[in-house]
Amino acid sequence: MPTVLVTRRLPPPGTAALRDAGVEVRESPSDAPLDRGELLVGVRDVDALLCMLTDRVDAEVFDAAPSLSIVANFAVGFDNVDVAEAARRGIVVTNTPDVLTEATADLAWALLLAAARRVGEGDRLVRTGSWTGWSPTQLLGAPVHGATLGIVGLGRIGTAVARRARGFDMDVCYTSRRRHEAAEAETGARYVTLGELLRTSDVVSLHAPLGETTRHLIDEAALGSMKPTAVLVNTARGALVDEDALVRALRDGTIAAAGLDVFEHEPALAAGLRDLPNVVLAPHIGSATTQARAAMVKLCCENIVRVLAGRPPLTPVRPEATG
């Protein structure tokens, strides 16, 4: 009977589909990540690994798992998996595209609106009892309706974010390594260079994967080229942004505000970030809806069942997709 290691407690519907397909499931009962030692011991004789973005899956893990044939990552991003090394060893890697796109785009919009309209600051004002009543000068924010939205990475989630912008009459531009004509036609987004996007956008929303070409894409110079009234939203991966440079930019008024769902060294934050009033902080909940998480579970299980039966997976990660 083939065996799968599930590194973390899963939301419903859980692993019933694996058991129904005759797979032995070793599932961590805990909602905490396995430590490195537990992961290396846990994979020893398994055929499949269902892992989280909090698990680093690299050559050391593959060395410890001689029977491994599939790594099913419970995320669309796969920067935590050494995909090239897996390919060299004939191990299939899968992710969970599409099923979390709308949930993550919704969260990007929640952060965009909250950061631009200072909802977090207002919440704290009211909650702490410091609010003395309506004022014509209180918490003036940036307009969202009619503003220019710059999308870095017009893929699945970037396109879903751009689609929502039409309801706000926004002018949408985007940048990526190549043009995406179908998404341009659907959303009306204009292709521009990263430099132009940063200089001209009122809101910059990040949707590119983390890879060597995107690590610290938004650094001190990039932040310095943005409008002082601009809002930065990051629901992609924390390391796309130099977080120390962002703290300085938010503190010095280089940009106006930020909304962040992801952080460079989760769950740790860059020094000073949590003290800034003009940043909205979410605990990496982009895909955290009941429906999206259930669909992610089903897709991971289906990929594992297929690969263990010698069939192609539904959503393989191609090694050349690594950025």
Residues with a catalytic annotation lie at 237, 266, 284
Compute φ and ψ for 139, nearest 5 degrees. Answer: 50, 50
Beta carbon of residue 98, minimum distance to ligand NAP (angstroms, whole number): 7
Please, which residue, 18 or 157, has the CB nearer to ligand NAP?
157
- Give the number of other CB atoms < 10 A from CB of residue 194: 17
- CA 289: distance to chain centroid? 14
Considering the complex, state which of residue 229 and residue 289 has its C-beta at the smaller distance from ligand NAP: 289
2: number of Cβ within 10 Å: 19
Give the residue among 237, 234, 229 at the shortest CA–CA distance from 254: 229
Q: In this complex, which beta carbon is closest to ligand NAP, that of residue 139 or of residue 321? A: 321
- Closest contact distance (angstroms) between CB of 287 and ligand NAP is 5
281: left (phi over 0), alpha (psi -120 to 50) or beta: beta
What does the alpha-carbon distance between residue 167 and residue 320 come to, in Å, rounded to a whole number?
A: 36
Helix (H) or strand (E) holding 245: helix 243-252
Q: Which residue is nearest to ligand NAP (CB)?
A: 155
Nearer CB in complex with ligand NAP: 33/97? 97
* C-alpha span between 232 and 246 (Å, rounded): 9
Please, which residues have CB within 8 angstroms of residue 319's CB and are 6 or more apart in sequence? 83, 84, 86, 87
CA distance from start to end of the chain: 36
Of the candidates 283, 277, 282, the one whose C-alpha atom is nearest the C-alpha of residue 256 is 277
Minimum distance of ligand NAP from residue 152's CB (angstroms): 5
Q: Is 37 exposed, middle or buried (0-12, 13-18, 19+ CB in 10 A)?
A: exposed
Q: Which is nearer to ligand NAP, 138 or 213 (CB)?
A: 213
- CB of residue 88 vs ligand NAP: minimum separation in angstroms? 22
Minimum CB distance to ligand NAP, residue 179 (Å): 8
Task: Kindly list the residues in this chain that would bind ligand NAP in the complex (CB under 6 A).
Answer: 76-77, 97, 100-101, 104, 152-158, 175-178, 207-210, 213-214, 235-237, 261-262, 284, 286-287, 323
